[in-house]
């Protein structure tokens, strides 16, 4: 097992990365206020890992119940969130009760938001079971639900007590979900870690083949990048915003098509190419840089063009983005491969042109 730390003073917490971590949870109890927990999962993950987790918690001396939600981005809303609150209230959960998120990014986000708001705050633990959640959404304390007008628009910054990433859960991950997670892995190389991007160029097929050593390295390297950024900028006032490379365009795709039609990582992949094309038009990337980025996403089996909704529709949806400040859209672009920047000076015509080139 590898351990990383997210350094946030009194709210610091570890990330555990390894195989078969779900089978031995003796070390988890110190992260609970009391040995009582409620596991939140979905109807896709529950048949695979819920009984195993409950048995391991019991063996560790922790009493736990569970709530099983419907699976999918389409259910990341108030109605489903209330199912968590219903279960907590019915079980008389107290402020010392720990919530445990067992699942992908949707489950992690909703469980974290429930933990931030139930009784004005209860502890929670992340046990991510998808690649995307292990390398990105489980770390950093962003919690949210979607709104019909925008993705992740209602939420809170609320840090977990522990992130436990069992690489073994990736064995049961659907190929499409694995590929979607690779979009976030590639992102770290593009925004700040050139040597990692070069490693990905050489090893992307190993990841697609679920090579255990390659997956463990990619998860650890991604989490290390994420932990460093979060420790420096917890509430996204500066550097943390660069983690949103491709996300402003990608969220427009998800919202415009309807949540769940494209997976988050698929939308981010196409959005990253739009950001790269805009960076090229601004004179920061060369044509070869753009092609190089596209090749990695293509080899990962990810889309490099977004759906043809029309640039005007993209811009309309992007106007609701969380990074809009003083009426100006702040985009995450690339000065070069391995160096991202926050840019608020791009004109609508330039943005629209990049969208048109990178959409079908």
Active-site position among 44, 192, 221, 226: 226
Following DSSP, what letter does each residue of 174-223 receive, concatenated? -HHHHHHHHHHHHHHHHHH-HHHHHHHHHHHHHHHTT-HHHHHHHHHHHH
The answer to whether residue 120 is catalytic is yes
| Catalytic pick among 179, 221, 224, 240 | 240
Are 198 and 51 a contacting pair, CB within 8 Å? no
92 is catalytic: no
Q: Which of 10, 120, 287, 288 is catalytic?
A: 120
Catalytic residue chosen out of the listed positions 161, 244, 280, 330: 244
Query: Among residues 175, 99, 165, 93, which one has the least CA distance to residue 135?
Result: 165
Active site residue 251: yes
Active-site residue, from 251, 280, 330, 343: 251
Which pair of structure tokens corresponds to residue 81?
Answer: 């969130």
Is 176 one of the annotated active-site residues of the chain?
A: no
Compute how many other C-beta atoms are within 10 angstroms of the C-beta atom of residue 291. Answer: 12
Q: Is residue 280 within 8 Å of 335, Cβ to Cβ?
A: no
> Any catalytic annotation for residue 244?
yes
Catalytic residue among 73, 161, 179, 184: 184
Catalytically annotated residue among 44, 224, 264, 343? 264
- 264 near 254, Cβ under 8 Å? yes
Q: Is 95 a catalytic residue?
A: no
2 catalytically annotated: no
Round the CA-based radius of gyration of the chain to a whole number and report it. 20
Which of these is catalytic: 142, 192, 221, 280?
A: 142
Which candidate in 73, 177, 234, 236 is catalytic?
236
Q: From the candidates 247, 280, 330, 343, give the one annotated as an active-site residue.
A: 247
CA dist 207 and 266 (Å) reads 16
Is 287 assigned a catalytic role?
A: no
* Residues identified as active-site: 120, 142, 184, 226, 236, 240, 244, 247, 251, 264
């Amino acid at each position: 097992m590898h351990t990383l730390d997210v350094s946030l003073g009194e709210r610091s917490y570890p990330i555990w990365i390894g195989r078969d971590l779900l089978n031995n949870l003796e070390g988890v109890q110190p992260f609970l206020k009391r040995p009582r927990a409620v596991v939140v999962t979905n109807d896709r993950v529950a048949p695979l890992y819920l009984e195993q987790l409950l048995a391991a918690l019991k063996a560790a001396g922790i009493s736990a119940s569970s709530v099983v939600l419907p699976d999918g981005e389409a259910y990341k809303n108030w109605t489903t969130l209330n199912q968590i609150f219903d279960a907590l209230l019915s079980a008389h959960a107290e402020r010392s009760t720990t919530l445990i998120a067992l699942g992908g990014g949707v489950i992690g986000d909703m469980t974290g938001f429930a933990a931030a708001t139930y009784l004005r705050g209860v502890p929670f633990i992340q046990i991510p079971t998808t690649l995307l959640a292990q390398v990105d959404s489980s770390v950093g304390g962003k919690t949210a639900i979607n709104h019909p007008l925008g993705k992740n628009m209602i939420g809170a910054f609320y840090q977990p007590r522990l992130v436990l990433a069992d690489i073994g859960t990736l064995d049961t991950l659907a190929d499409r979900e694995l590929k979607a997670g690779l979009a976030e892995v590639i992102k770290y190389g593009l925004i700040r870690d050139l040597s990692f991007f070069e490693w990905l160029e050489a090893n992307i097929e190993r990841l697609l083949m679920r090579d255990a050593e390659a997956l463990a390295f990619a998860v650890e390297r991604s989490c290390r990048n994420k932990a460093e950024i979060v420790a420096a900028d917890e509430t996204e006032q500066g550097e943390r915003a660069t983690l949103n490379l491709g996300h402003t365009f990608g969220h427009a795709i998800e919202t415009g098509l309807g949540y769940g039609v494209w997976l988050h990582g698929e939308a981010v992949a196409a959005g990253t190419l739009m950001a790269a094309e805009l960076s090229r038009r601004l004179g920061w990337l060369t044509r070869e840089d753009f092609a190089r980025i596209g090749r990695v996403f293509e080899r990962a089996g990810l889309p490099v063009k977004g759906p043809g909704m029309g640039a005007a529709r993209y811009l309309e949806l992007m106007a609701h983005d969380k990074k809009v400040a003083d009426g100006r859209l702040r985009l995450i672009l690339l000065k070069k491969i391995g160096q991202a920047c926050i840019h608020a000076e791009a004109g609508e015509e330039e943005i629209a042109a990049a969208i048109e080139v990178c959409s079908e």
